[in-house]
Amino acid sequence: MQLYTKILIGMAVGAVVGLLLGPNSLLLTHDVYAIRDASQIVFQQNPTDASSRVQIPAGVPVQMRLLETRLEQHPDLLGEEKAVPVWAKVRFPFSQRLALADQSGHIRQQLGVLAPDGQVEGWLQISRTPLEGGGFAFSPRPISRLGEQVIDIVRPIGQLFMRLIKMVVVPLVFASLLVGVASLGDIRKLGRLGSRTLGLYLGTTAVAVSIGLACAYVVQPGQFIDPADRTVLLAQFGAAAGDRMSAAAVSPSMVDTLLDIIPTNPIDSLTSGNMLQIIFFAIVLGVAITALGPEENASVVSLFEKLQNALIVIIGWVMALAPYGVAALVAEVIGTSGISVLTALLVYGCTVVLGLAIHGGLVYGGLVRLIGRLSWSSFMRAARPAQLIAFSTSSSSATLPVSIECAEKNIGVSNPVASFVLPLGSTVNMDGTALYQGVAAIFIAQVFQTDLSFGSQLSIVLAATMASIGAAGVPGAGMITLALVLTSTGIPTVGLALILGVDRILDMFRTAVNVTGDLAITTVMAKSEGEQLTLQSPT
Ligand code: ASP
């Protein structure tokens, strides 16, 4: 069986495991509360006695097993009497982390815990957020303990795979770019290739955002969001969205971002994995090595070529693990996403995927057919291994080694062009991310009924195009730069909470498009350099 068929099967198995056996499982009983920050809850030893309330320290996660639920008759917003949960009797171990946070030992004493890891029992208050259409959203919500355990077992397999691929990325980007630049052998050729590549990367990104905006205006996903879902989503993801906004708030200004591309200490850039700095240094060093002349530079180039080849051999080994790694990664994402969020945001999610499909078919299809002179379906087949790895890892950077292999082996791009264009693309070119930001911005504006002028739409296109350069090729990076896009146009950033629940899943689709874009443009660049391309199906 071909490797990528096995990867596809791995993805399907992962999705089924996540859906049926994950924390939000459709099959398993939801019997625990996984509370990330205990300071956000009210915990009492006796529900009728507020003086028995115990303040559990902030920042300590606790997993509380659900023993029983106390219901109360309550008139809901439509005036009907309904039994709603008010208190849940729970049990949890007084963990080492709780003991550490309780330096004075006061809480332990109050709770009567004798030994570390001793069990605590008490009542957890269930808070209700009224919904506009009637009824309430309850928090926290129970999940399946067994499902959590399944994901805890599966998670390290995915992490193992991710870490093994990431291990190769930094040395590969450096070695590839150096070899790529030095083998071009001519600074004018490098300048031409570099400027055309950047022009195409930025041009296709601006088109992608515009397609995203157009799709959001035609489909109007904001009209499909129920007021009740809106309240639930804002309550459920508000805190996590706040984290993204704080991350965006500390991001540097445009000038600083540009200046930051130049490393003050390239070794530091390599150890911290700062891709733009590594790219800059590798290009400058590659040019300098070229300037030494063919006789002097031959040994350096050949050394890095050998290093590049050895790193590709490692990737070949790691790919044997891909079907299992991919299954684990997909199971984790699907298992922790929660089906109710997916259904509430179905139209929004479909709008993003529709936009991505249009962009792929029209823009990349057009470029590959018209300039690359290749069949679109054969190109897609040749790019499939990279697309599958991008989809399951949600990381353009982690996919880079596989993209380089696809470009050289399956599309027939020369090593210098693939080694130059692809590492650049994995950081700079993110059409899928930019398109998703366009849809997300309009979606949030529609939900909050914010009117957008033509100027605001133009600034979304500009901001999302610039943001796609700055965003790192790692999972969730697009969500942080989306906060910057929203602020630049005056769309409420709290809206991030609306879309956070499906972000991880949409990340898979947009990363697959980001990587397809890198490969399509590499193909076009190779053709424009007069290379003969021959497509081969992956093995
Ligand atoms: N995960 C994306 C990538 O690596 C970036 C993003 O959209 O969050 O390309």
pLDDT digits (tens, 9 = 90+) for 213-233: 999 999 998 888 777 667 766
Task: Examine the domain organization and report whether 237 and 286 are in the same domain.
Answer: yes
Q: Is the CB of 396 under 6 A from ligand 1?
A: yes
150, two tokens:
């399944």
Residue 290 in any domain: the answer is: yes
Q: Which strand (E) or helix (H) includes residue 125?
A: strand 119-125
| Residue 227 is assigned to a structural domain of this protein | no
Question: Do 169 and 133 share a structural domain?
Answer: no
- The residues facing 88 across adjacent strands are 69, 124
Domain boundary residue, one of 101, 123, 142: 142
Query: 329, 474, 505, 506: which to mutate for ligand 1, most atoms within 8 A of CB?
Result: 474
Q: What is the residue range of 76's domain?
A: 32-142
Are residue 106 and residue 171 in the same domain, yes or no? no
CB 323 within 8 A of CB 10: yes
Residues 104 and 161 in one domain: no
Q: Is the CB of 481 under 6 A from ligand 1?
A: no
Distance CA 250, CA 319 (A): 37
- Rounded to whole angstroms, how far apart are CA atoms 481 and 496? 11
Alpha-carbon distance values, 423 to 172, 181, 311, 360 (Å):
9, 12, 14, 20
Last residue of a domain, one of 89, 111, 142: 142
Select from 510, 516, 519 the residue to mutate for testing ligand 1; criterion: most ligand atoms less than 8 Å from CB.
510
**Do both 195 and 111 map to the same domain?**
no
Q: Quick one: 335 and 357 in the same domain?
A: yes
Q: Does 516 contact ligand 1 (Cβ within 6 A)?
A: no
What is the distance between the alpha carbons of residues 508 and 337, in angstroms, rounded to a whole number? 13
Residue closest via CA to ligand 1's atom 6 equals 478
**Is 9 contained in some domain?**
no
In a domain, 12, yes or no: no
Question: H helices of 145-260, where?
Answer: 145-184, 187-219, 227-249, 254-259
Does any domain span residue 492?
yes
CATH number at residue 293: 1.10.3860.10
Query: Is the distance from the beta carbon of residue 437 to the nearest atom of ligand 1 less than 6 Å?
Result: no
Does the residue 126 lie in any domain?
Answer: yes
pLDDT computed for residue 211 by the predictor: 96
State pLDDT tens for residues 123-142. 999 988 776 556 677 788 88
Ligand 1 site, residue 470, Cβ cutoff 6 A = no
Q: Is residue 538 part of a domain?
A: no
Number of domains in the chain: 2
Query: Distance from the CA of 486 to the center of ligand 1, in angstroms?
Result: 18
Our answer on whether the CB atom of 311 is closer than 6 Å to any ligand 1 atom is no
Are residues 86 and 198 part of one domain? no
Distance 17 CA to ligand 1 centre (A): 24
pLDDT at 235: 67
Is the domain of 91 the same as that of 204? Answer: no
Using 70 as the pLDDT threshold, list the residues of the chain that sit under it.
76-79, 131-135, 228-229, 232-233, 235-245, 247-252, 338-341, 539
Cα separation, 238 vs 242, whole angstroms: 6
- Ligand 1 midpoint to CA 514 (Å): 8
Q: Does the C-beta of 394 come closer than 6 Å to ligand 1?
A: yes
Question: Which of 394, 400, 504, 516 should be mutated for ligand 1, with most atoms under 8 A from CB?
Answer: 394
Shared-domain flag, residues 104 and 187 = no
